[in-house]
Amino acid sequence: MTRTHTVVLVEGLSDKAAVEALAGRRGRDLDAEGISLVAMGGATNIGTYIARFGPPGRDLRLAGLCDAGEVGAFQRALERAGLGSGLDRSDLEALGFFVCVADLEDELIRALGTAAVERVIDAGGELGSFHTLQKQPGWRERSTHDQLRRFMGSGSGRKIRYSGPLVAALDPDRVPRPLDALLAHL
């Protein structure tokens, strides 16, 4: 194994699986390149990981991916580590941190389209479960996009199980911008 020089901080295992899947599709071996992917177990843990791997700790190159709702936590942690002040999204990107509009699943659903996501779910043997969710009173009137996001988040391990197959189903020119930009940054 190559010595780690870059640590990519992502919120959870599904984000990690998506980055790994895209790297694999592009013929990249991140581990061999000295790039370590770390699923933090939630965005609120960002400060701990920056302290461990960033300037206060091992002083490795950092990058990451976060949901729009977690931008503030990332900004504050990066600022506390001395990596800037008054950081906005363009500053985050310059540091290697890319923001998903809502979350990575939302990005993947938009990039693929709902019909393609349903095909991936069907291949996973859960289309019937998805149709059951669609029939529930609280979800009947919602868009298929919203229903798919809820479905991904409602089953134990679904986000993790489907993130790789969703990335595999993407057309190469339809990779969500935050995921594409992160990999290009690395």
Cα torsion at 167, 160, 104, 64 (round to 10°)?
-100
What distances in angstroms separate CA 117 from CA 45, 49, 58, 87, one per listed residue? Answer: 30, 33, 40, 35
Rounded mean pLDDT, 48-68: 94
Residue 108 has pLDDT above 80, yes or no: yes
CA–CA separation, 18 and 101 (whole Å): 16
pLDDT at residue 128, as a whole number: 95
Q: Name the DSSP class of 173.
A: G
Residue 137 has pLDDT above 80, yes or no: yes
CA–CA separation, 98 and 125 (whole Å): 32
pLDDT at residue 135, as a whole number: 95
Residue among 167, 14, 179, 1 at smallest CA distance from 97: 179
pLDDT at residue 46, as a whole number: 96
pLDDT at residue 49, as a whole number: 97
pLDDT tens digits, one per residue of 72-100:
999 999 999 999 999 999 999 999 999 99
Question: Where residue 1 falls among pLDDT bands split at 50, 70, 90?
Answer: low
pLDDT at residue 85, as a whole number: 94
CA–CA separation, 79 and 92 (whole Å): 10
Question: Where residue 146 falls among pLDDT bands split at 50, 70, 90?
Answer: very high
CA–CA separation, 24 and 179 (whole Å): 13
CB 47, CB 80: distance < 8 Å: yes
Neighbour-count burial for 2-31, b at 16+ CB within 10 Å, e otherwise: eebebbbbbbbebbbbbbbbbbeeeeeebe
Q: Name the DSSP class of 3.
A: P
